[in-house]
Structure 1
């Protein structure tokens, strides 16, 4: 009779991943290495653009000699989701989407492009200063979420470096 052993299950899972050609993104020869320090992100012209650029540069690094260029467009809007009995909005959703395109700077060809979207919320029931701080924090969180989605998609589409 076979006994259940988690180590055997983990070993079988790792063997299956290796057999299917799975390579971690940041392993030697992985897609993450192909993009690390190789992406020049368009200069921001809004606070949201600055937050997105900062988050993406934290992920991929800054570079002075990029192979790829990343262009993006940000669209943000707010919807009230809670209204008090006196008809005052007390909670807002911040909805955002980013369209992006990664292009090879040598050839000008688009390597990958797409659109990501998400939302965050904040409360507007405090003082005006607290409400403004909450709104800015929600925008920061939203840009971090969108940058993670973009990063994941760029890593999935990245060419594997030659070995």
Structure 2
């Protein structure tokens, strides 16, 4: 009898139009909005693309037609200070993103930079974890700066 009621409940949920919260929808906002972010090469590029998709989820002023954002990423790890034994004690991640937002009514482009400094931990493999965290923070900051720059350019022109 319990199985019958469970099956009846599932059928009634399917018939009422129930859709899970994270299921795909036909709306443009659920599909990432009218702005498509092209894939960016590398792990840092993947992180930057994800951060851009999150920042652009609410859209940009004046962009109602489909648009494509292309970003060329250049990133660099620099050792700033060294310990007496030659190991790095302080490092910096710098990144530069050259972007072009292409749409039917024209294109908007620019270059944005971001940088994150970090102290290298003394524990084994601590440098790898610190680098990964610093790259992630730098890509989030770069995404925010790209979107802020796009908003400024689109609202001014």
- State the distance in 1 between where 2:46 and 2:99 align: 15
Moved over 6 A (4+): none
Structure 1 position 156, deviation (Å): 1.6
| Aligned-partner Cα distance in 2 for 1:124–1:146 | 22
Output the CA distance in 2 between the equivalents of 1:44 and 1:114.
16
Equivalent pairs counted in the alignment come to 121
1:39/1:69 contact within 8 Å kept? yes
2:39 and 2:86 mapped to 1: Cα distance? Answer: 40
Unaligned runs of 5+ in 1: 1-35
Please point out which of 115, 119, 141 is paired with 1:119.
115
* Higher Cα Rg, which structure: 2
Pair 1:119–1:132, CA change in 2 (3 A) = same
Structure 2: gaps spanning 5 or more residues: 1-31, 60-64
Alignment of 1:83-94 (within 5 A): 83-94=82-93
Which residue is 2:56 aligned to?
Answer: 60
CA shift, 1:159, in A, is: 6.1
Could you tell me how far 1:62 is from its partner in structure 2?
9.3
Tell me how large the CA RMSD over aligned residues is. Answer: 2.4
